[in-house]
Amino acid sequence: MNIALIAHDKKKKAIVQLAQTYEHVLNVHTLYATGTTGTRIMEKTGLSIHRFKSGPLGGDQQIGARISEGTMDMVIFLRDPLTAQPHEPDVNALIRLSDVYEIPLATNASTAVLLLKELENISEI
């Protein structure tokens, strides 16, 4: 599967912890991330990640393009709902595309854990 990993600034620590916990699940998939998020995850894990631009510089749109092309299978996007984002239209477009193309999308850590546990269960079969 092609999996995108994205996190707003206040959620970067949480996505790194998630990647560390589920490294054994993520390492058998092709991973993509926005710039800083991908760098931080790679620094703390052994995961290989294709990095797009930072979200505000077009990274969210790059991932959205992959969704619309049918080449992204899952998105984990840990959003900070309490902080205004300068690229909010891009965030909304990414969420909309995930819905249009029925791509599993986690916008919080609890939902991300459920998706990753399901991937873990599938790989054990």
CA 52 to chain centre: 11
Question: What tokens were used for 14?
Answer: 């949480």
Residue 35 CA, distance from chain mean position: 11
Among all residues, which ones are annotated catalytic? 60
**In the chain, how long is the greatest CA-to-CA distance?**
43
Q: How far is CA 69 from the centre of its chain?
A: 17
Rg (CA), the chain: 13
Give the type of residue at 8.
H
CA atoms within a 13 Å half-sphere pointing along the CA-CB vector of 45: 24
Q: Six-digit token pair at 38? A: 């991908």
